[in-house]
Amino acid sequence: MKAIILKRLRERSLLRRHPWIFSGAIASVEGKPKMGETVDIITAEGAVLARGAFSPESQITVRVWTFDPGEEISPEFFHGRLERAIESRRALMSGEGPCGVRLVNAESDGLPGLVVDRYGDYLVVQFLSAGADHWKGSIAEALSRLVPALGVYERSDADVREKEGLPKIAGVLAGNEPGDLVEIQEGRCRFLVDIKRGHKTGFYLDQRENRGMIAEFAREKQVLNCFSYTGGFGVAALQAGAARVTNVDSSANALELARLNAEVNRIDAARMENVEGDAFSLLRRWRDEGRTFDTIVLDPPKFAESQSQLLRASRGYKDVNLLAFKLLKPGGTLFTFSCSGLMTGELFQKIVADAALDAGREAQIIRRLTQASDHPTLLSFPEGTYLKGFICRTAANR
């Protein structure tokens, strides 16, 4: 029998169905399990509580597959879990045109370390934990049976793989290799997705609903889309009648794709300006030049990877939000986000409040935003919520 025995009283989080066991909670490992293999999870008193995947190199040494100690972890188990996750996204897949949908959101879909995104006829998969990686073959096979796709592409090249002792890899898992760009439809917008080289699995699907919300603040407006990636919020604003959008990103490739995204949506190129560079210095320069916008989107990358980086990250969020408030016209609207899981909503609100104060602007939160519904959070796994955002309206006079 392969098992881990918990230290005394360390089963409390498991009884609340939290799926992670940290190395510090483990008294002993029995039966020499190999990386990714299934182990029984046993209390100091000898009660079998759950079964999970063993990951000796990670701080998170076990991730729970099931809280039913009698359930076998087999190809059928993965077929069942995948089917349930995919079924819950049916409505998102029944729209017009090729969809962009997250089919499996890891822990929150009962499949720790596994991410599956669908872009039209292609599936993109990330195996981010030793356990998910161990079952790669069964998962790929079940996916091929459950979703008709031309191909399944693996993007297991995220940094978190290193914490699990897994190499970064990417490539075709099944079927055809996707072309350089795959098109999806999101509301009134079409987007080209670079599955093979883009960020994450190619696109920020988590912002789908929030991109949809910019329409209300776009008509005839001058919009600044900062940290634009491939122009998502910008294209959505232009489709809703924005006068002009300025995309800012440090990646030339992302901006080239923003230009192509305007093209596939038949948007006049003159309505989209793409500026490559560091957002902090560009915004500072525009502030000094007295440039202003009606609507600003700030969607920076994850500034805090660990608790020790949180203070520095907070300064980054504060600076960029302060600059945005300075660039906003009176009565303007700010969409501001943080995708750092370690940043709480409460702290983020304080930071944005400080930024407004220092900019000498009065503002209200008119909406609180989070990740789209295909990126759910299991109630017993609050870590699943990482994206926080506010729509802020600034006062009409300073």
Q: Minimum distance from CB of 128 to ligand SAH (Å)?
A: 19
Establish if 389 lies at the interface with ligand SAH (CB under 6 A). no
DSSP state string for 110-168: T-TTEEEEEETTEEEEEE-SHHHHHTHHHHHHHHHHHS--SEEEEEE--THHHHTT---
Range list of H helices, 307-373: 310-327, 345-359
The two three-digit tokens of residue 376, written as one number:
């759910």
Residues 300-329 that bind ligand SAH (CB under 6 A): 300-301
Residues 241-270 that bind ligand SAH (CB under 6 A): 248-251, 254
Q: Residue 295 forms beta bridges with which residues?
A: 223, 333
| Of residues 88 and 251, the one with the C-beta less far from ligand SAH | 251
| Of residues 112 and 231, the one with the C-beta less far from ligand SAH | 231
Which residues make Cβ contacts (< 8 Å) with residue 332, sequence separation at least 6? 292, 293, 294, 295, 296, 393, 394
In angstroms and rounded to an integer, the radius of gyration of the C-alpha atoms of the chain is 23
| Of residues 85 and 327, the one with the C-beta less far from ligand SAH | 327
- Of 27, 278, 395, 396, the residue at the interface with ligand SAH (CB under 6 A) is 278
Cα–Cα dist 201/172, whole Å: 13
Establish if 390 lies at the interface with ligand SAH (CB under 6 A). no
Residue given tokens 């079952």 in the structure block: 135
- Of 78, 119, 217, 229, the residue at the interface with ligand SAH (CB under 6 A) is 229
- C-beta separation of 21 from 62 below 8 A: yes
- Neighbouring C-alpha atoms within 13 Å toward the C-beta of 290: 0
Residues 203-222 that bind ligand SAH (CB under 6 A): 204, 207, 211
Residue type for 215, please? A
Q: Which residue has its beta carbon closest to ligand SAH?
A: 232
| Of residues 163 and 200, the one with the C-beta less far from ligand SAH | 200
| Of residues 64 and 257, the one with the C-beta less far from ligand SAH | 257
Contacts with ligand SAH, 186-205, as mask; x by CB under 6 A: ------------------x-
User: Judged by CB under 6 A, which stretch of 55-63, 86-94, 134-142, 229-237 contacts ligand SAH?
Assistant: 229-237
Q: By the criterion CB under 6 A, which residues form the site for ligand SAH?
A: 204, 207, 211, 227-230, 232-233, 248-251, 254, 278-280, 299-301
